[in-house]
């Protein structure tokens, strides 16, 4: 399990507890389950920062049906934040960690972890940590919704927006299958993604692996934060980065896509806040494969601070992955895509016993298929915001650009 950005974050392994859930109540169930679980453990937290003490990783389905959501409490977590590093263990420290724990044998959470790097290197040398395996060659094939099927779905949505007029924006996605000649080691993907997308959150929860640029919510005490993204350009022709950036900022279509997304997040987050700051103008986030319009929304929570999972329930899905109005968009997504998004475009991240934590939107990601046998198989997803003046051919190309991070990470391209 992983949630890492520019070297900071959490990496966990083992499973001390797990919840599988689905349906409309999935967030409430996850929140209640986690609070009940935390209430029955004795915590010894010497660090006292967000992410120290017991944490749960969560990866929630995009849709109420048929998706499966999962919450996992790892047995061991290594954390790093602003120069502070810690190790959390649940129960007796497992053998692989014992050499680095300051006082193995006690239940502890948040022990300072200075000797870790040396210990980890020794364990690796001693063969206690399996070296990262290369997935071999990669072959691609159509997913449930092919690129041509996707083009058609976008064209249908555009027609409906122009003719019926009950929908302002919809986000449509499609999938792609990748088969590797060797079983897939998620660490191979994570390592490559983290090296190339430092500005993104590299995540892995129960086989869903990716590097998302979009932070749905971060809660840290009374502070709440979100990085809303919508509106995209990608390298085309011989346009330079500055030219692309100017094109993005001037594009009415991209600005309106962005406005719907920011508005939806702000409207659903505002009831939890005493103050909420929404920038008047978006900025541009530059990534290797695409550029996005971005708005950093910040707020101060009210006295009865809702937990991260409760707020996540309220804000999901924003119009960065659903649409406007949300109910009509979500219904039409099901009809036009005709596929199960699973946990793609759902919230993914971690929460601690205080209800703090970070959740992103699971984008630029792939689901490792457990039943692939001797090969590895993953299902990649990419989607685009569609408004009335979208061009289906350009949306197909945009989705193609959004597949790149995982494709290149799979293929180990430098
Ligand atoms: C739905 C995806 O991206 C969203 C996030 C940023 C920009 C988007 C866009 O411009 O369409 C999408 O709303 C995806 O990457 O699969």
Q: What CATH number is given to the structural domain containing 39?
A: 3.60.120.10
Q: Which one is catalytic: 75, 169, 218, 259?
A: 169
In the reported structure, the alpha carbon of residue 227 is separated from the centroid of ligand 1 by a whole-number distance in angstroms of: 13
Number of compact structural domains in the chain: 1
169 is catalytic: yes
Nearest-atom index, ligand 1, CA of 231: 10
pLDDT band (50, 70, 90) for residue 223: very high
Q: What is the DSSP letter of 145?
A: S
Which mutation among 230, 348, 386 tests ligand 1's pocket best, with the greatest number of atoms within 8 A of CB?
230
Nearest-atom index, ligand 1, CA of 254: 10
In the numeric block, the tokens 């949300």 are attached to 326
The predicted-structure confidence for 52-83, as pLDDT tens digits, reads as follows 999 999 999 999 988 899 999 999 999 999 99
In the reported structure, the alpha carbon of residue 301 is separated from the centroid of ligand 1 by a whole-number distance in angstroms of: 27
Any ligand 1 atom below 6 A from CB of 228: no
pLDDT at 250: 97
Rounded to two decimals, the pTM is 0.92
> CA of 352: how far to CAs of 73, 97, 360, in Å?
10, 21, 15
Any ligand 1 atom below 6 A from CB of 402: yes
With 50 as the cut, is the pLDDT of residue 413 above it? yes
Dihedral sign computed on CA atoms, order 339, 59, 64, 151: negative
The predicted-structure confidence for 93-103, as pLDDT tens digits, reads as follows 555 544 343 33
Nearest-atom index, ligand 1, CA of 292: 7
pLDDT at 106: 32
Any ligand 1 atom below 6 A from CB of 355: no
The predicted-structure confidence for 341-397, as pLDDT tens digits, reads as follows 999 999 999 999 999 999 999 999 999 988 766 788 999 999 999 999 999 999 999
At 105, list the tokens: 């044998």
In the reported structure, the alpha carbon of residue 367 is separated from the centroid of ligand 1 by a whole-number distance in angstroms of: 18
CA distance 218 to 265: 13
The predicted-structure confidence for 278-314, as pLDDT tens digits, reads as follows 999 999 999 999 999 999 999 999 999 999 999 999 9
Phi-psi region of 48 (alpha: psi -120 to 50; beta: other; left: phi over 0): left
Domain that holds residue 327: 2-411
Q: Which one is catalytic: 29, 75, 214, 337?
A: 214
Any ligand 1 atom below 6 A from CB of 306: no
pLDDT at 343: 98
């Amino acid at each position: 399990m992983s949630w890492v950005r520019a070297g900071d974050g959490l990496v966990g392994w083992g499973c001390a507890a797990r919840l599988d859930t689905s349906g409309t109540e999935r967030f409430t169930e996850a929140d209640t389950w986690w609070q009940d679980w935390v209430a029955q453990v004795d915590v010894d937290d010497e660090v006292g920062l967000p992410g120290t003490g017991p944490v749960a990783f969560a990866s929630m389905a995009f849709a109420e049906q048929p998706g499966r959501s999962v919450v996992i409490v790892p047995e061991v977590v290594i954390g790093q934040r602003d120069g502070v590093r810690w190790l959390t263990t649940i129960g007796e420290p497992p053998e692989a960690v014992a050499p680095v724990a300051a006082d193995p044998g006690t239940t502890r959470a948040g022990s300072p972890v200075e000797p870790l790097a040396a210990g980890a290197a020794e364990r690796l040398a001693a063969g206690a940590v399996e070296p990262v395996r290369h997935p071999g060659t990669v072959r691609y094939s159509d997913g449930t919704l092919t690129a041509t099927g996707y083009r058609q779905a976008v064209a249908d949505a555009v027609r409906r927006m122009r003719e019926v007029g009950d929908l302002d924006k919809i986000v449509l996605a499609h999938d792609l299958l990748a088969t590797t000649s060797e079983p897939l080691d998620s660490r191979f993907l994570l390592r490559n993604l983290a090296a190339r997308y430092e500005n993104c959150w590299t995540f892995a929860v129960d086989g869903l692996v990716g590097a998302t640029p979009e932070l749905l919510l971060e809660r840290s005490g009374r502070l709440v934060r979100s990085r809303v993204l919508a509106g995209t350009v990608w390298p085309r022709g011989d346009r330079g980065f500055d030219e692309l950036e100017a094109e993005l900022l001037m594009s009415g279509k991209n600005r309106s896509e962005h406005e719907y997304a920011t508005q939806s997040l702000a409207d659903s987050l505002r009831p939890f806040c005493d103050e909420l700051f929404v920038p008047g103008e978006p900025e541009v986030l530059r990534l290797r494969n695409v550029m996005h319009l971005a708005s950093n929304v910040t707020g101060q929570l009210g006295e009865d601070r809702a937990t991260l999972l409760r707020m996540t329930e309220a804000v999901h899905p924003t119009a960065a992955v659903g649409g406007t109005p949300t109910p009509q968009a979500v219904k039409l997504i099901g009809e036009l895509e005709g596929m199960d998004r699973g946990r793609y475009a759902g919230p993914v991240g971690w929460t601690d016993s205080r209800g703090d934590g970070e959740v992103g939107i699971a984008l630029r990601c792939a689901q490792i298929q457990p039943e692939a046998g001797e090969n590895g198989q993953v299902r990649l997803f990419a989607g685009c915001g569609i408004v009335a003046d979208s061009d289906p051919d350009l949306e197909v190309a945009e989705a193609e650009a959004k597949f790149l991070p995982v494709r290149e990470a799979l293929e180990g391209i430098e």
